[in-house]
Amino acid sequence: MTHQLPSPDAPLKIGTRGSLLALAQAHETRDRIAAAFDLPQAAFEIVPITTTGDNRALIASDTPLKALGGKGLFTKEVEDALIAGEIDIAVHSMKDMPVVQPAGLVLDCYLPREDVRDSFISPVLSGIADLPAGAVVGTSSLRRRAQLLSRRPDLEVVQFRGNVQTRLKKLADGVASCTFLAMAGLTRLRMLDEVPAHPIATEDMLPAIAQGAIGVERREGDTATAALLEPLHDRVTGQRLAAERAFLAALDGSCETPIAGLALLEGGEVYLQGEILRPDGSEVLADAGRAPIEDGARLGHEMGKRLLAQAGPGFFSFKT
């Protein structure tokens, strides 16, 4: 590598949200770069950045995320800092990322993907089938809400946000019988032994697009940083996300639209499953297909367009 490496005197600044999970992801990114280039931790600086989605008053409210700004809630301020040169790279949960990056930014480095599944969280129950009729379920995810109501329209779903500890306290206080969290987050926080989590098969709850994946964003033209990130990139994760995010882009997806999808590599092919749902769960449209791995983005785009045509006008804007 011909570029000067980060050092304690000139550290690489890693920008991230300030949540425990976001910091864990930034630390993983730092540790992977350090290992790849035999650098000390002092050659890096973690820079927590407060985003609109981290505003305590908003998160504590019952206002749906879609009314607060959608996916950009968790990324805009971090990307603004990257554009301004206040940080050198930005570390993101890929399921939070819009499908289009701001001008001047590049997102082409993905860490190895973690467990993609959702988990059912309850101190006394072990799965959705155990919920009695009329039970109150807490989630802020439109996707999980719609998927749950499509199977169990007899349940009551309420807004449920906050960190893991906050949600567990709400369950203990009887605010809801259960909630859902991503297995990847619990794994990265090393909390699987502390949280009553029961993994949900993807056949029963198709995950969010790019769930379990971490992306590292950089400035376009920053060749030194690109060289640092090159050994971190997991090709398989990138191939899977190319199909999933093309599916999302074709649907113009955001936090306002219940969309799920998962790509798997099987031999030399990518197998993609996708679904879109009415927000109240009253209708689910699903599709699946295969293509050579190099055609994954095309597969995702075509599948998204097919479902969009099948849904017709007003599908996502259905009033709940």
Domains and CATH numbers, the chain: 1-113+212-233 (3.40.190.10), 118-199 (3.40.190.10), 235-310 (3.30.160.40)
In this structure, are residues 125 and 131 in contact, taking their beta carbons and an 8 Å threshold?
yes
How sure is the predictor about 319, in pLDDT bands with cuts at 50, 70 and 90? very low
Q: Which residue has the higher pLDDT, 120 or 66?
A: 120
Q: Tell me: pLDDT of 183 over 80.
A: yes
How sure is the predictor about 52, in pLDDT bands with cuts at 50, 70 and 90? low
Average pLDDT, the chain: 90
- pLDDT above 90 covers what percent of the chain? 78
Tell me what pLDDT residue 249 has.
94
Provide mean pLDDT across the span 24-51.
96
Q: Residues 6 or more apart from 53 whose CB is under 8 A from it?
A: 17, 59, 65, 68, 69, 73, 74
Q: Tell me: pLDDT of 120 over 50.
A: yes
Provide mean pLDDT across the span 126-136.
96
Provide mean pLDDT across the span 158-178.
87
Highest mean predicted confidence (pLDDT) among 102-116, 169-183, 250-264, 300-314? 102-116
Closest to 37 in 3D by CA, of 229, 214, 221: 229
Q: Which residue has the higher pLDDT, 292 or 68?
A: 292
Tell me what pLDDT residue 256 has.
67
The Cα 29–Cα 14 span in angstroms is 9
Q: Tell me: pLDDT of 26 over 50.
A: yes
Q: What is the pLDDT of residues 188-205, one digit of tens each?
A: 999 999 999 999 999 999
Residue 87 exposed, middle or buried by CB count within 10 Å (0-12, 13-18, 19+): buried
Q: Which residue of the set 96, 115, 118, 222 is catalytic?
A: 96
How sure is the predictor about 318, in pLDDT bands with cuts at 50, 70 and 90? very low
Q: What is the pLDDT of residues 56-72, one digit of tens each?
A: 444 444 555 555 555 56
Active site residue 96: yes
Tell me what pLDDT residue 30 has.
98
Tell me what pLDDT residue 220 has.
97
Q: What is the pLDDT of residues 76-95, one digit of tens each?
A: 899 999 999 999 999 999 99
- The CA-CA-CA angle for residues 277, 282, 284, to 5°, reads 35
Alpha-carbon separation of residue 52 from 71, 178, 301 (angstroms): 10, 27, 30
Alpha-carbon separation of residue 109 from 113, 160, 236 (angstroms): 12, 32, 11
**0.95 exceeded by pTM:** no
Which residue in the block uniquely carries the two structure tokens 């554009």? 83
